[in-house]
Structure 1
Amino acid sequence: MDSIKKILGILWIIIALVVAYYGFTVFGIPKVMSEKTDDNVFGWIILTVLMPIIVGGLGTFGWYSLSGEYSDEKI
């Protein structure tokens, strides 16, 4: 079971990197550079609020899983 947790930790870190790339290139930077006020506000919310929460949570969870924090032997 611990090996599955480590594999899933790698998967969570990869998902965090994909979400960060997709969030910056599709939702963040193009929306911030837009001339529309609605898109501009949405882009800043994505970059400053949602991206750190989502990427930070996925990355932290993946790192803890990969380093063995959730292993059965830690009890």
Structure 2
Amino acid sequence: MENIKKILGIVWIALALLTAYFCIAKFGLPKIMSGHQEDVVFGIIILFILTPIISIGLAVFGYFALKGEYREDKM
């Protein structure tokens, strides 16, 4: 079970990188470049608020899983 948790830690870190890419390249920047006011506001919210929260949260969760912080004997 501990090995599965470590493998999933790598998966969570990979998901953090993919999430950052998609939030920036596919959702954030195209909305900002569109020129419509409602799209610019939505793009700014995605880039500066949602992307860091989601990506950093997934990366930290993956890091802790990789380091073994969720082991049964630690509790």
What is the TM-score normalised by the length of structure 2?
A: 0.94
2:35 aligned counterpart, secondary structure: coil
Report the RMSD for the aligned CA atoms in angstroms: 0.8
SS in 2 for 1:62: helix
In structure 2, the residue corresponding to 1:35 is in which secondary structure? coil
Q: CA deviation at 1:45?
A: 0.2
- 1:43-62 alignment runs, 5 A limit: 43-62=43-62
Number of residue equivalences: 75
The 2-side partners of 1:34 and 1:71 are apart by: 47
- Provide the identity percentage: 53
In structure 2, the gaps of 5 or more residues are none
Q: Could you state the TM-score of these two structures normalised by the residue count of structure 1?
A: 0.94
Deviation at 1:21, TM superposition (A): 0.5
Please identify runs of 4+ aligned residues in structure 1 that moved more than 4 A.
Answer: none
Structure 1: any 5+ residue segments left out of the alignment? none
Q: Provide the residue aligned with 1:27 in structure 2.
A: 27
